[in-house]
């Protein structure tokens, strides 16, 4: 049995400043912007600038997390970066982050990939290492600069952003009460090696993938810890669009009020490995001491990680040391589709 003293010592986020509106994408592909917005419950998405990638997003989020925690970077014993858009196919993103936050060299590091839940997988790894006493602090990061093929439905949502969580035992701003995972081999979404854009199974991504895993992990966790939906003040479910988390919540018996603080997809899109972690960060930005948060991530392929988190008194002292989620969301600049394809390298230029 894992000791219940492991939790979050600090967290940090990063969301790029550029946004593209759903209507702008629809304008290019002849879609009905209003219908798409209603269908996906999405307004716009965050787009990485030309010089932003998973490594820069992860680094900025990690620096913010350390600022909040106020610990020496050398005390970080492990860094795991979860992403489906690592800048290199071979060469870790985690080493770039480790050097940039000065946690290197006496530490371990690796990159994770599990579609949209690689970040929560990193948290679980750090919980194990910290809980076992192998390391004092571990940094778990979920960050992505997700790409949808031009004209694909994914293009409306595939977004950029990330969050970093410093996991430890001391000075917790939130305790992680427990975690529960479900994993199956389900090909609902994938990207083959060397391919620029992912493929997905259309409606197959719904009930046999997202809903099956999110529901069973959440129910499994609640059963394990003897909790019911009404025991939580907030709930965060992975947000591939605005509809899925709301439907999952309804199905499980969570209310709109519980979901409200953590829903970001309508304003920044699906940040993949960053999605659930940014939702959790948004909740932590406003949660009161003693409040309880349920988080369930989903990664295609497929699996779900569910967490029960309880906020401590400490959180109020640490807020304001690094930019909050809303700081990044409100600092935005809109781009047109032409700029978007230029920045995201979807057009061929002379090299």
Catalytic positions are 84, 116, 238
Q: Which residue in the set 322, 335, 337, 340 belongs to the binding site for another protein (CB under 8 A)?
A: 322
**Of residues 6 and 283, the one with the C-beta less far from another protein:** 283
Query: In this structure, what token pair is assigned to residue 128?
Result: 């194990």
Any contact of residue 346 with another protein (CB under 8 A)? no
Query: In this structure, what token pair is assigned to residue 159?
Result: 């977004």
**Of residues 144 and 188, the one with the C-beta less far from another protein:** 144
CA–CA distance from 257 to each of 19, 40, 217, 263 (Å)? 27, 20, 21, 11
Centroid of chain to Cα 97: 17
Q: Which stretch binds another protein (CB under 8 A): 110-118, 266-274, 294-302, 320-328?
A: 320-328
- Over the window 249 to 288, marking each residue x when it contacts another protein by CB under 8 A and - when it does not, the resulting string is ------------------------------------xx--
How far is the C-alpha of 113 from the C-alpha of 86, rounded, in Å?
9
Centroid of chain to Cα 252: 21
Query: In this structure, what token pair is assigned to residue 216?
Result: 């069973």
Helix residue spans in the chain (DSSP H): 22-29, 33-40, 54-69, 93-100, 118-131, 212-225, 243-252, 256-260, 265-268, 275-286, 315-318, 325-330, 337-343
Any contact of residue 152 with another protein (CB under 8 A)? no
Q: Which stretch binds another protein (CB under 8 A): 54-62, 116-124, 157-165, 216-224?
A: 54-62
**Of residues 2 and 345, the one with the C-beta less far from another protein:** 345
Any contact of residue 111 with another protein (CB under 8 A)? no
Q: Which of 216, 228, 229 is nearest to 256 (CA)?
A: 229
Q: Which residue in the set 32, 99, 195, 256 belongs to the binding site for another protein (CB under 8 A)?
A: 99
Q: Which of 288, 221, 205, 278 is nearest to 254 (CA)?
A: 221
The nearest distance, CB 32 to another protein, in angstroms, is 31
Residue ranges that bind another protein, judged by CB under 8 A: 17, 49-53, 55-56, 59-60, 63, 87-88, 96, 99-100, 102, 285-286, 319-327, 331, 333, 342, 345, 349, 351
């Amino acid at each position: 049995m894992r000791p219940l003293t492991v939790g979050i010592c600090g967290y940090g986020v990063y969301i790029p400043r550029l946004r593209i509106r759903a209507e702008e994408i629809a304008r290019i592909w002849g879609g009905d912007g209003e219908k798409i917005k209603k269908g996906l419950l999405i307004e716009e998405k965050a787009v990485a600038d030309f010089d932003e990638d998973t490594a820069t997003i992860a680094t900025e989020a990690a620096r913010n997390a350390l600022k909040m925690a106020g610990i020496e970077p050398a005390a970080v014993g492990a860094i795991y970066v979860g992403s489906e858009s690592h800048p290199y196919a071979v060469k870790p993103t985690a080493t770039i982050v480790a050097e940039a936050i000065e946690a290197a060299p006496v530490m371990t590091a690796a990159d994770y990939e599990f579609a949209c839940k690689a970040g929560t997988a990193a948290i679980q790894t750090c919980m194990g290492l910290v809980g076992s006493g192998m390391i004092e602090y571990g940094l778990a990061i979920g960050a992505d600069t997700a790409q949808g093929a031009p004209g694909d439905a994914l293009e409306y949502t595939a977004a950029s952003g990330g969050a970093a969580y410093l996991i430890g035992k001391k000075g917790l701003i939130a305790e992680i009460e427990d975690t529960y995972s479900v994993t199956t081999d389900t090909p609902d979404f994938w990207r083959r090696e060397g391919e620029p854009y992912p493929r997905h199974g259309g409606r197959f991504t719904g009930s046999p993938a997202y809903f099956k895993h999110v529901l069973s992990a959440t129910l499994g966790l609640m059963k394990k810890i003897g909790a019911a939906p009404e025991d939580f003040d907030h709930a965060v479910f992975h947000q591939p669009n605005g509809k899925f988390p709301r439907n999952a919540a309804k199905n499980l018996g969570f209310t709109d009020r519980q979901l409200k603080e953590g829903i970001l997809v309508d304003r920044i899109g699906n940040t993949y490995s960053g999605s659930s972690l940014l939702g959790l960060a948004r909740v932590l930005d406003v949660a009161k001491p003693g409040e309880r948060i349920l988080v369930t991530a989903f990664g295609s392929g497929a699996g779900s990680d569910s967490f029960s988190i309880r906020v401590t008194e400490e959180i109020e002292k640490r807020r304001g040391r690094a930019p909050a989620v809303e700081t990044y969301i409100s600092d935005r600049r809109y781009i047109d589709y032409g700029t978007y394809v230029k920045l995201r390298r979807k057009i061929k230029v002379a090299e």
